[in-house]
């Protein structure tokens, strides 16, 4: 079945509280998708954000982002009074998320709600804590310790705690009992609200596409509590970190800084941690996009401490074996492979064995007629065709920086005369393609300028801030997208 998709993270939803939440506006966006006959809503990782506010650098691979918890729902549940959250200042700019404001105020409000929560009388809460014990206990302690240590990374704590020594950990659990309970409450509320939103989406014929970042952050509960998963030295610090080698777009490469996995250890465990992670994501989302999928075939290792990615080498990953074992245990997986970047014949072979749909990004295509990202070169319907991803320009922004030759080629290919006609023509090409799913950022339907770009890779600041307004989602826009979907049988 041919489908269409709109890519917009929860953070970009309309909100009176500085950042998108899982309340009224999220449900109204599902209504908008239903009216426009759009079958998929793609979001970014739901994880808590850390350094740089990126959802791809998180304190935990399992926890949900507290910023997305809706205050109005907490009010309806008797945990907040309206003035307790409405009186705060939540934004400096209605079109941008200000994470410093959110960070300061959000937790203050959630602590008020926690003070009224009766954990002992809530059977759902007890069940949640039991079901998620494998990650929740460690995460709640980790966050409580971060608060106690003024937000410092775990490797800057006292040595006994940093090295996760049993005696120090046991003592911290007793000392921080109330703080640990707070962070469990936050995760319970997140899980409860997300389950309601996802159910509403599914009941209205909308599937949620979610994201697994391939790597964990160095400052994460996983790196602190499970050092064996990573290529760490005796002091639990990385020997090498992740990134990408230099190319035409990044002369010094991309230094992500995430710790690399000790794949030999994972193999000995039957990839248990990874299979558990995939299983958890399959419960959270309807379709799972795995970021940097090529990294499972081979990955770029940069010596820890280097200032850029100019020095590094490719090393072999687990390849198809991980996914073979995952499907053996979990059944056929509904996965999208983010197969962008430096793709070798070995990576293609792994993708073929897995059989997962890959990605085509039309913005990458307008160089010449042989480019694989142009729709006439799609060799299979088993792919997702994107006008652009969260790492790309808005279509308007992309057109504004096109070089002369690419612009000339695009006009000819798209059969348009004006530069201003290119964005919508690109959307039509994606929708007309053989791809099983055609996807576009919401910015590309809102005619958003360059300044509304979600993320510019390898940069800090001004990322992940894009927001929509309630008035953006008009009946006229829903009708326009519906016509597009019907025109191209999506």
Q: Are 39 and 206 in contact (CB under 8 A)?
A: yes
Options 53, 70, 179, 338, the catalytic residue: 338
| Catalytic status, residue 291 | yes
Q: Report helix, strand or coil for 130.
A: helix
In terms of Cα–Cα distance, which of 100, 106, 104 is closest to 15? 106
Options 72, 286, 291, 472, the catalytic residue: 291
As a whole number of angstroms, the distance between CA 238 and CA 222 comes to: 13
Q: Which residues, at least 6 apart from 24, have a Cβ–Cβ distance to it below 8 Å?
A: 70, 72
Q: Which residues, at least 6 apart from 18, have a Cβ–Cβ distance to it below 8 Å?
A: 90, 91, 97, 98, 101, 102, 105
| Catalytic status, residue 196 | no
SS (H, E, C) 352-363: HHHCCCEEEEHH
* Per-residue DSSP letter, 58: -
Options 16, 37, 75, 391, the catalytic residue: 391
Q: Report helix, strand or coil for 256.
A: strand
* Residue 33 φ then ψ, to 5°: -60, -40
| Catalytic status, residue 262 | no
Q: Are 424 and 416 in contact (CB under 8 A)?
A: no
Q: Report helix, strand or coil for 244.
A: strand
Report DSSP letters for 166-227, one per residue.
Answer: HHHHHHHHHHTHHHHHHHHHHHHHHHHHHHHHHHHHHHTT-EEEEEE-SS--SSSHHHHH-G
As a whole number of angstroms, the distance between CA 101 and CA 157 comes to: 26
Q: Are 449 and 381 in contact (CB under 8 A)?
A: no
Q: Which residues are part of the catalytic machinery?
A: 291, 338, 391
């Amino acid at each position: 079945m041919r489908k269409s998709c709109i890519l917009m993270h929860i953070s970009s939803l309309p909100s009176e509280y500085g950042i998108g939440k899982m309340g009224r506006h999220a449900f109204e966006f599902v209504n908008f998708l239903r009216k426009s006959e759009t079958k998929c809503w793609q979001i970014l990782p739901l994880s808590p954000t850390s350094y740089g506010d990126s959802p791809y650098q998180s304190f935990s691979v399992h926890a949900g982002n507290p910023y997305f918890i809706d205050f109005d729902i907490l009010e309806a549940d008797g945990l907040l009074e309206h003035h307790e959250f409405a009186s705060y200042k939540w934004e400096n700019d209605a079109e941008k998320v200000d994470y410093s404001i959110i960070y300061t105020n959000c937790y203050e409000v959630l602590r008020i709600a926690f003070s009224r929560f009766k954990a002992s009388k809530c059977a759902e809460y007890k069940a949640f804590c039991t079901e998620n014990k494998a990650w929740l206990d460690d995460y709640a302690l980790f966050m409580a310790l971060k608060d106690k240590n003024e937000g410092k990374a775990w490797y800057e704590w006292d040595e006994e705690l940093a090295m996760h020594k049993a005696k120090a950990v046991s003592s911290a659990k007793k000392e921080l009992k109330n703080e640990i309970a707070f962070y469990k409450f936050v995760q319970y509320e997140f899980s409860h609200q997300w389950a309601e939103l996802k159910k509403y989406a599914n009941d209205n014929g909308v599937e949620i596409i979610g994201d697994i970042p391939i790597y964990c952050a160095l400052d994460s509960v996983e790196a602190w509590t499970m050092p064996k998963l990573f290529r760490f030295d005796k002091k639990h610090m990385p020997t090498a970190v992740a990134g990408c080698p230099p190319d035409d777009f990044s002369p010094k490469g991309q230094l992500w800084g995430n710790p690399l996995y000790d794949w030999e250890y994972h193999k000995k465990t039957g990839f248990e941690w990874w299979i558990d992670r995939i299983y958890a994501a399959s419960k959270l989302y309807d379709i799972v996009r795995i970021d940097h999928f090529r990294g499972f075939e081979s990955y770029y290792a940069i010596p820890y401490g280097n200032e850029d990615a100019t020095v590094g080498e490719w090393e072999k990953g687990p390849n198809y074996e991980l996914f073979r074992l995952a499907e053996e245990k979990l059944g056929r997986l509904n996965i999208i492979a983010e197969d962008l970047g430096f793709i070798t014949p070995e990576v293609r072979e792994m993708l073929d064995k897995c059989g997962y749909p890959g990605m085509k990004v039309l913005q990458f295509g307008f160089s010449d007629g042989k480019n694989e990202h142009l729709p006439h070169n799609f060799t299979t319907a088993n792919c997702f065709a994107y006008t652009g991803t969260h790492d790309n320009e808005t279509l308007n922004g992309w057109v504004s920086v096109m070089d002369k030759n690419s612009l000339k080629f695009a006009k000819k290919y798209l059969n348009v005369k004006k530069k201003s006609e290119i964005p919508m023509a690109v959307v039509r090409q994606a929708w007309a393609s053989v791809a099983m799913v055609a996807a576009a950022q919401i910015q590309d339907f809102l005619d958003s300028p360059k300044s509304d770009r979600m993320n510019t890779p390898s940069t800090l600041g001004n990322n992940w801030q894009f927001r929509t307004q309630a008035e953006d989602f008009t009946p006229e826009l829903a009708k326009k997208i519906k016509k597009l979907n019907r025109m191209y049988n999506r």
